[in-house]
Every structure is written in structure tokens, then in C-alpha cells.
Amino acid sequence: MPTPFGIGTSIILRLQYDQGVVNFGAIASALSDSGGDIVAIDTNRVSPAKTVRDITVNLNDPHDVNRVVSSVQQLPGVKLINVSDQTFLMHLGGKIEMHPKVPIKNRDDLSRVYTPGVARICMAIHEDPSRAHTLTIKRNTVAVVSDGSAVLGLGNIGPEAAMPVMEGKAVLFKQMAGVDAFPICLNTQDTDEIVSIVKAIAPSFGGINLEDISAPRCFEIEERLQKELDIPVFHDDQHGTAVVILAALLNALKVVGKKLEQCRVVVCGIGAAGMACSKILLASGVKDLIGVDRQGAIVRGHVYPHQVWNEFAEHTNPFMVRGSLSEVIEGADVFIGLSGPGVLKIEDVKRMAADPIVFAMANPNPEIMPEEAEPYVRVMATGRSDYPNQINNVLCFPGMFRGVLDCRASQITETMKLAAAHAIASVVSDEELNAQYIIPSVFNHQVADKVSKAVIAAACDAGVARRSRDSRDN
Ligand SMILES: NC(=O)C1=CN([C@@H]2O[C@H](COP(=O)(O)OP(=O)(O)OC[C@H]3O[C@@H](n4cnc5c(N)ncnc54)[C@H](O)[C@@H]3O)[C@@H](O)[C@H]2O)C=CC1
Ligand SMILES: CC(=O)C(=O)O
Ligand SMILES: [Mg+2]
């Protein structure tokens, strides 16, 4: 069974052992008896008396690390020199670096790339600032901005701890869609300050991807930046997630033979992602949507501390259903979890309508684990990489930004998001579609390509594209 953090841990043990006291067979047995699976052995040094080996050991459960390590430490004649963890090794020094596109091999190159030649480029942009889109990295570069306040489902862990996620997003932008992305983690959670910092750095970028900023501040930050900047500003946890959920739901409903308009949808966790997901589903035809947060169903007439929830209540829960998640889940066709781990109980799933659809999307630990829910649901999806049907915003943001950068869009409209959702859904053909395959793999190269094309077409239709398809080389 997968671990709570989604992947088994792999560690490398560097051991020195005295062949006269212990043989390798005893070491291998100790590792395997304590839960380790040896996958590679490298001999590092051999002398007549002592051998040093690097032993790569897979662990199904990261909690087994201490047990596995002490199993060999306890053996007579064995000295543990070092333990390293593959996931930590992949993060050493960060996951991205900068490469120059133009080599500087001589003084002539130097005087073009840098002074004095560069001055002509500066003045060309000074005379026509729109040329920054062609003569600087703005053309292909996005800022991934976080304040570390809602990192995955880990909560407010701060800007330094948010960096590995933002670096990961940057890797995905590049690998999936060729977009250069810079992780920028801010040491402030003040709305005014974030708005003013992002506005100040915007000249270097062709788009702003806001990430893991908690609700309700994320709504105001995004709205103000959208109004004040002339490049697209996109809060990934809201809209990237909403787009991918809509894509997955369109396909899941085909599997169960239901229509959006006829379904009761329960969305649990009306934060950044839950709010945007609810909005896109309502815009796509869902009539009966109930939002649930910690204190239960959100109902019209109640006065909530956040204005966004008061507005949400006006447009949802038409039958004014009240109560906890366990109460309102009765008879629901679709559950969408964007809250936290273990929130949905198996008894709740059993009381849903026939052929229930459960999207348990909290990361890294979903609202219910698939192995528990699967016997009782028709379609199951999570945000994780280690189960089928991974609904993750990585299916949206690379292609979305590829599209907006290519057509130099000034903003991302609702129609561009809907176009992206339909493009993602269309990658799964009717012949391929089944309960275990409602959404394409994140490694499917068609996804970013189809999304970017659909986004460009919708941007042109909406009149927000500043460059036509024919002038894309300029
Ligand atoms: N699979 C994917 O692509 C994505 C998954 N997510 C996941 O969705 C979750 C929420 O993310 P955000 O909306 O960005 O966070 P957020 O902090 O803006 O919203 C979370 C909401 O869930 C509510 N909540 C927490 N525990 C709850 C409980 N026990 N019952 C009911 N409501 C509860 C909170 O009160 C809050 O309103 C996180 O776990 C995140 O990892 C978010 C974005 C994308
Ligand atoms: C996937 C993602 O963006 C999140 O869980 O926050
Ligand atoms: Mg996120």
C-alpha cells in the first residue's frame, strides 16, 4: 500500500564492515527483516579486512527508516558511515538553474550581449515598451509567486518551506510546455504588500502564477492584480484546479451516464480551490451544488465572516440543506474534496446516490484513501501520482501559460478556462474512457499542446490576444 506521503522512501546506507566478524548475507538479512528491500549494492572500497558498500534500500513506509538503520547498526563488525534519502538528494541545491541562451566567446559577443550593444536594445524598449515581450525573457517567463500560507494541504508553513513546491512547479512548466518559470516566495502575508511587490516585479514577466496563497486573501490579491496589471494573473489553486476538475467530471459523468444539470454535487472545503471549482461547475450547468466547510453546509441567510462565503451562499445550495458533511452527503451524486485528510468517512460514501463519483483531492493525503472508498464508488480520483485518475492542476497550468504567452494575452477569461477544461477532457477518447481512466496522464504530451491551442483560440475570440497566430515569430 502506498505511504501517507505518496511514494516509498529510498535510502542509501554507506556501511563499512569487517569481513572477519560479519558477512554480507547477515547484513542483507537484517535489512530485509526490518522492512527494507535491497535494490542496489555498490562496492566503494575493499581492503583485506574491511569492505565499504553503498546499499540502496527501498522502504514501503518512511516510518521504517529508523528500524532499518538500527538493524544494521546493531550488527557486530558493522559501522554505519552515512545514510542518505533519494528524495532529499533530488532536492540538494534546489531543482532548477539558469542557463544562458547566448554564449559570450569574445569581445565582440560581449559588446553585443552587454554594454555597449545592449544600450540600443534598452532604448528600443524605452521607446516602445511592448518590445519587452520580444526582446527580453518576458516573452516566455512566468513568476510563480507564493507567500507560503496554504502550501499543498500542509498549511501555513512559510515562504522558505514553500520553495520546493514552487521549484517543482517551475520544473513542470518547463518540462510540460517549455515555459520558463521563476519561483518567488515572499516573506510577507500582507495583502497590500503582496499586491505591491508583484506589481513591482511584473515588468520582467509575461504572466503571474499565484500559488498556495490561502483564502480569503487569495481572492482579493488576484482580483487587484488582474485589474492593475496588463499581463495574465492566474491563481493556480483556484483556476488550474477548477479547470482540471471540470475536465475530469465531464468524463466521469459519461462513464456513469449522468448529466451535470441533474447531479447533486457536494464540494467540501470552500477555500481557494473549492470556491473556484464551485464557480466553474455552476457556470457549466450544475444546478444543485452544496458547499461544506468546517462548520457544515454553507446556507443562504446565515451571515459568514468572509464576504465571499455570503456571496457563495446566494448562488448555491438551492434546497437550503443544512448540517455536517455526513448529513448533506446523503443522496449526492458527486463528492469533491478540497479540504484535508480523512474528512470523508466510508459510511458517508455508502449513503451517496447510485454510481457515486468521489474526487478526494487534498494533498498529500486525500479526504478518503482510494483503497477504502473504491469498493463503494463508481469513479474514484485523487490529486496523487500513485493512483489512477490523478486530478492535478499540472494538467492545466503549463498549457494555459504556453497559450497566453504565445498569443500575448492581457488576461485569462472564463471562456479560456472552459476551453482548457474541454481540451483536457478531449484527450481521453470515447474508446479509451473508463472508470479508471477519466483524465489523461500528466505525461501525455497532447495535454499541454491541446490546452494551449484551445486557450489561444478562446483568447482571440474574447479579444484579449495581443498577437495573432500568424505573427507568433515576432
Ligand atoms: N489536486 C490538486 O490539483 C489540488 C489540490 N488541492 C488541495 O486541496 C486542499 C485545499 O487547498 P486550498 O483550497 O488551496 O486551501 P485553502 O486553505 O484555501 O482551503 C481549504 C478549505 O478547506 C477547509 N477545511 C479544512 N479542513 C476541513 C474539514 N475537516 N472539513 C471541512 N472543511 C475543511 C478550510 O476551512 C478551508 O476553507 C489542499 O489539500 C490542497 O493540497 C489544492 C489545489 C490543487
Ligand atoms: C497541486 C497543488 O497545487 C496543491 O495541492 O496545492
Ligand atoms: Mg497549489
> What are the strands, taking DSSP E only, across 356-451?
357-360, 379-382
Assess whether pLDDT exceeds 80 at residue 472. Answer: no
In the prediction, which pLDDT does 63 show?
79
226 Cα to the center of ligand 2, angstroms: 21
What is the maximum alpha-carbon separation in the chain?
Answer: 82
Among protein residues, the one with the nearest Cα to ligand 2's atom 6 is 152
* Residues 334, 331: Cα–Cα separation, whole Å: 9
Assess whether pLDDT exceeds 70 at residue 90. Answer: yes
In the prediction, which pLDDT does 306 show?
86
pLDDT in tens, 348-397: 999 999 999 999 999 889 999 999 999 999 999 999 888 999 999 999 99
319 Cα to the center of ligand 1, angstroms: 25
In the prediction, which pLDDT does 1 show?
35
Kindly identify the ligand whose nearest atom is closest to the C-alpha of 153.
Answer: 1
In the prediction, which pLDDT does 48 show?
85
Kindly identify the ligand whose nearest atom is closest to the C-alpha of 172.
Answer: 2
6 Cα to the center of ligand 2, angstroms: 14
212 Cα to the center of ligand 3, angstroms: 5
In the prediction, which pLDDT does 5 show?
43
pLDDT in tens, 10-32: 899 999 999 999 999 999 999 99
169 is catalytic: yes
* Residues 355, 334: Cα–Cα separation, whole Å: 9
What does the pLDDT average to over 325-339?
97
Task: Give the model's confidence band at 340: pLDDT under 50 very low, under 70 low, under 90 confident, else very high.
Answer: very high
Mean of the per-residue pLDDT values for the chain?
94
Task: Give the model's confidence band at 153: pLDDT under 50 very low, under 70 low, under 90 confident, else very high.
Answer: confident
Kindly identify the ligand whose nearest atom is closest to the C-alpha of 362.
Answer: 1
What DSSP string describes 3-38? -TTSS-EEEEEEEEEETTT--HHHHHHHHHHTTEEE
* Ligand 2 pocket test target in 359, 392, 439 with most atoms within 8 Å of CB: 392
In the prediction, which pLDDT does 470 show?
54
174 is catalytic: no
Contacts for 284 with CB less than 8 Å, ≥ 6 apart: 246, 250, 260, 418, 421
Report pTM: 0.90
* Residues 289, 225: Cα–Cα separation, whole Å: 29
Going from the C-alpha of 239 to that of each of 2, 303, 308, 402, the distances in angstroms are 29, 26, 16, 16
Amino acid at 157: I
Among protein residues, the one with the nearest Cα to ligand 2's atom 2 is 152
Number of residues in the chain: 474
Atom of ligand 1 at shortest range from CA of 383: 1
Catalytic hit among 138, 169, 279, 450: 169
CA-nearest of 327, 413, 416, 428 to 381 is 428
Task: Give the model's confidence band at 344: pLDDT under 50 very low, under 70 low, under 90 confident, else very high.
Answer: very high
Beta-bridged to residue 311, according to DSSP, are none
* Ligand 2 pocket test target in 236, 238, 339 with most atoms within 8 Å of CB: 236
Assess whether pLDDT exceeds 50 at residue 132. Answer: yes
Ligand 2: list residues with CB < 6 Å.
152, 212, 236-237, 363, 383, 392-393
* Residues 397, 170: Cα–Cα separation, whole Å: 11
Cβ–Cβ under 8 Å, residues 177 and 401? yes
What does the pLDDT average to over 191-201?
98
363 Cα to the center of ligand 1, angstroms: 8
Q: DSSP label at 50? A: E
Task: Give the model's confidence band at 418: pLDDT under 50 very low, under 70 low, under 90 confident, else very high.
Answer: very high
Question: What percent of the chain has pLDDT above 90?
Answer: 89
In angstroms, how far is CA 283 from the centroid of its own chain?
Answer: 23
Among protein residues, the one with the nearest Cα to ligand 2's atom 4 is 152
Kindly identify the ligand whose nearest atom is closest to the C-alpha of 150.
Answer: 1
For the packed helices 397-406 and 159-177, what is the interaxial angle rounded to 10 degrees?
A: 70
420 Cα to the center of ligand 3, angstroms: 18
pLDDT in tens, 256-273: 999 999 999 999 999 999
Going from the C-alpha of 230 to that of each of 126, 225, 325, the distances in angstroms are 17, 9, 41
Strands 233-235 and 180-185: unpaired
* Residues 246, 418: Cα–Cα separation, whole Å: 8
Question: What percent of the chain has pLDDT above 70?
Answer: 97
What DSSP string describes 396-415? THHHHHHHHHHTT-S---HH
pLDDT in tens, 27-43: 999 999 999 999 999 98
Task: Give the model's confidence band at 55: pLDDT under 50 very low, under 70 low, under 90 confident, else very high.
Answer: very high
